[in-house]
Amino acid sequence: MKIKNVLITGVAGFIGSNLLDFLLETTDWQITGIDDLSTGNKKNIELQLGHNQFEFVEDTLFNLKSLKKYECVFHLAALPRIQPSFELINEHIHANLMSSMHLIEIMIAENHFPRIVNSSSSAIYGTPKIIPTPENERIECLSPYAFQKYEVEKYFEMLATRYPLDFVHLRYFNPYGPRSFNPDNKFNAYSSVIGIFLDRAKNNQPLLITGDGSQKRDFIHVRDLARANYMAAIHAEKLNTAFNIGHSNTMSVLDLAKLISDKCEFIPKRDGEAEITFADVTKAKSILGWTPKHDLETFIKESIK
C-alpha cells in the first residue's frame, strides 16, 4: 500500500504522540494530527511542531470536513476511561462512538475510503475464559467504555457490507511507556497503572492497589503499539479484521507494585474491570509480521533510576 499523507486523530495523547514520533522517525509521510486537547497535552508534541512532515490542527474531530487527501487514518481519539464511562455516559458515547461514525460519514459522502487503523481495546473481552485470549474469544463488555469500543468494531463490519471500507482494529491490551501519566488530566487516576505507580513513587507516595492486587495484566509498551499501527497501515491487502496487540505474558498488579516500591496501600476493588488480560498475538505475528520487542521490567528499572 503506497502512502504519502496520513491523519492521526488524538495526536497529542499518550499513544497518539508516541505514534507520531515513530512515524516521523520511520517514514517520509506527510502527517496531519488533530486534537482538541481536552485530554491530550500539547507538551507531548511540542518537539515535533516545527517538523516539515507534520501539521497540527487544534480542533475537535467533529469539525473535520474531508479525508480526501489521506491514504490512511490512525484513529486514536477517545476517552479511554472505564470508571468514568459509567457516570459520564453521553460524553463517552460522543467521544468513543460518534467520532468514529463521523469519519465513516465523511468517507461515504466523499466516496473516498482510506484505510482506517482503529484503536480498539482488550476490554471488550471482559474476564476471558480462554487464556491466552485469541481474537475469536466471546465478547463480554463489563463497562460502557468496552461496549463503545466493540460498537465501533461492529459498525465498521456492518457498513463494510454496503461500502468499500478498509479497516484494521487493533485491540490494545494494557499500554505503558513515556507520557502515559498526565498530571494535569483530572481523570489521571484511570490512566495506565504503570504511569500512576511511577508518578506516586517519584513523589514518595504509597502505591494504591485496588482489591488485593491479584488481578493480572498483559502490559504492552507504547512503541510496540506504534509499530503495530504502522504495520497495519502498510499491509498490502485489505484486512477488515481485528488483531490483539499485547506482549503475550501477564503480571499481577501486586507484583508490578513490588517492582516499583515497597510502600503500598490497598483500596476497594473497582467494578467493571477484568480479572485477567493475556493476549494471544499469533494472528498479528502471522499476518502483520508484528512481534513485541520491549520488556516491562527493563522499562521499570530505567524509569526508577
Catalytic annotation, residues? 145
Distance of CA 102 to the CA centre of its chain: 19
* Cβ 74 vs Cβ 114: under 8 Å: no
**Cβ neighbours of 111 (radius 10 Å):** 9
Residues 127, 276: Cα–Cα separation, whole Å? 6
Among candidates 71, 115, 135, which has minimal Cα distance to 286?
135
| Cell numbers standing for residue 260 | 516499583
Using an 8 Å Cβ cutoff, are 181 and 44 in contact? Answer: no
Q: How far is residue 277's CA from residue 128's CA, in Å, rounded to a whole number? A: 8
DSSP letter, residue 276: B
Distance from C-alpha of 3 to C-alpha of 72, rounded to nearest angstrom: 7
Q: Residue 95 contacts by C-beta under 8 Å, 6 or more apart in sequence?
A: 77, 78, 79
Within 10 angstroms of residue 123's Cβ, the number of other Cβ atoms is 27
Count of other CB atoms within 10 angstroms of residue 107: 22
